[in-house]
Amino acid sequence: MKIFKLFLKRLLITAIPLVSLYIFAEIAFQNNREREHPTDAGLGIAFLLTFILFVLFIGFLTDFIIRLRKKEYKTALTDLPFLLCFIFPALYLACLWGGGDGFCSWIITAARNL
């Protein structure tokens, strides 16, 4: 039960900023549609999403390393699903910018098949 509570706490820590960003994006897009000369609101939202994911990744990675040093292996395992979710978009973008050879071609193919 302790592991489940830790997982739910991490899920809440992840969900709150992402849901807040979604609500902010909806408001920004609605206000942008009502303007006489619409601007590119999506780029700012993308930068905010990148910043949020980067901060969450650093936070979960730090927690993962601390839990491993304290030998709390079961607790550290609750960080792994979130780390994998945050690293996949970063790897995908890095592979696109790097040319997409070798390992990167597998990631790009897997992402396109989703």
Domain count across the chain: 1
The answer to whether residue 109 scores a pLDDT higher than 90 is: no
Is 86:57 a contact under the CB 8 Å cutoff?
Answer: yes
Tens of pLDDT, residue by residue over 49-101, are 888 988 999 999 999 999 999 998 988 889 898 998 888 777 777 777 777 66
4-53: pLDDT as tens digits: 998 899 999 999 999 999 999 999 999 888 877 777 778 888 889 888 98
pTM tops 0.85, yes or no: no
| Secondary structure of residue 102 in the 3-state scheme | coil
- The answer for residues whose C-beta is within 8 angstroms of residue 49's C-beta and 6 or more apart is 21
The residue segments making up the domain with residue 68 are: 2-113
User: What integer pLDDT is reported at residue 102 of this predicted model?
Assistant: 65
Q: Which among 9, 93, 103 has a CA at the least distance from the CA of 53?
A: 93
